[in-house]
Amino acid sequence: MSSIYNYTAFGLNFQSEFEIPEFLSGNSQPDVSIRIGRVPSELKNANKSGVSYQATKDEFLLEIDNIARFYVKKGTEIIVEPKHKDIDKEIRLFLLGSALGALFVQRGLLPIHGSAIKIGEKATIFSGPSGVGKSSIAAYFSKIGFQVLNDDISVIDSELKLNPGFPKMKIWHDVAKKLELQINNLSEIRPSIQKYHLPINSVFCNQALSLERMIIIQSKNTPEFECEELTGIKKFNAVKNNTYRYRFVEGLEKQQDHFVILNKLIPKIKVYRVSRPQSSIQLKEFADFLIKTLNIDV
């Protein structure tokens, strides 16, 4: 007899056949069911597919070599077919990443590639390309007293609320050192990668908030920080281009929904492009610059 686990994350209730310790528990009627089972080996009539995924209007299939295959249907169902016997943290890593990303798109939500913190009574997303320091700066802000809503994927619903994810961040070894974290106490995301799950329960904001601003980080090869507020088409494109895996939107034929929610959201938020000096990120200097430039109350 298998157990059933109920969770709440990203404003959705999940019912899972296996334990997802990253999530916070919940009790309500499930919006999404997660189970273990066989999944199709391929999708017929897949649209714009990628190297490791296929997508049709209602279905999404993701394959991670030697780990698992994930089948996501109509935004309500995820089936996981593990390559090995147990559901382990490696499987959950991809479940809580790309597979959830596809589920959000199927549900007509807007997933932004970025980590969000609470400033005042509203949310700010740090977005930008991988490796630019989104999680790092969010983790630094949590260290100086701000709450975190989520890491890596920030989900905005049709009411334009940013829903909290789950109380874990992924932090690389070098950043963990800068944050003066006790690395020995942290669990690696995978045995061969020195990136750790950082529990953030004590600074987790478990409350949906309106989005106030999005800070799109880029690195550049000059020594100073710079900030530019984006307007017009630049603002629109900057947000669109930082959608979590935009190619999923095309594959799942959700361009229309995506466009509508973007158009609703963009007049209501401020979007900044912030440049930081490339190479090793200076977290305190970066945070100080943002606090001063954006008049953030500390």
Partner 1 sequence: MYKKNVIWLASYPKSGNTWFRVFLTNLLSDSDKPANINDLAESSISSSRKVFDDYTGIASSDLTSEEIDKLRPEVYKKQSEESKDLLFKKAHDKYYFVDDDKALFPSEISKCAIYFARNPLDVLVSFAYHSSKPVNEMTKVLNDSKYAFCYKNNRLHNQLRQLLGTWSEHINSWTQQTQIPIQVVRYEDMINDTFSTFRSAVDFIGLNKDDNQIQDAIQKSEFSVLAKQEKEDGFREKMIKSTAFFRKGKIGDWRNHLDEKMKNEIINNHKEIMMKFGYLNSNNELIY
Residue 64, token pair as written in the block: 């991670």
Q: Which region, judged by CB under 8 A, interacts with partner 1, from 114-122, 156-164, 166-174, 228-236?
A: 166-174
Determine if 277 is a binding residue for partner 1 (CB under 8 A).
yes
Interface residue with partner 1 among 65, 86, 180, 224 (CB under 8 A) is 65
**172 interacts with partner 1 by CB under 8 A:** yes
- Residue 268, interface with partner 1 (CB under 8 A)? no
- Cβ-proximal residues to 146 (8 Å cutoff; 6+ apart), any chain: 117, 118, 119, 203
Residue 49 CB, shortest distance to partner 1, in Å, is 8
Where does residue 271 rank: exposed (0-12), middle (13-18), buried (19+ CB within 10 A)?
A: buried
189 in Cβ contact with 170 (< 8 Å): yes
* Contacting range for partner 1; rule: CB under 8 A; set: 173-181, 204-212, 232-240, 263-271: 173-181
SS3 162: strand
Rounded to whole angstroms, how far apart are CA atoms 146 and 40? Answer: 44
Residue 195 in contact with partner 1, rule: CB under 8 A:
yes
d(CA 93, CA 97): 6
| Residues in contact with partner 1, shown as a per-residue x/- string from 122 to 141 under the rule CB under 8 A | -------xxxx---------
Binding stretches for partner 1 (CB under 8 A): 50-53, 62, 64-65, 93-94, 97-98, 129-132, 152, 172-175, 189-190, 192-195, 219-223, 245-248, 277-279
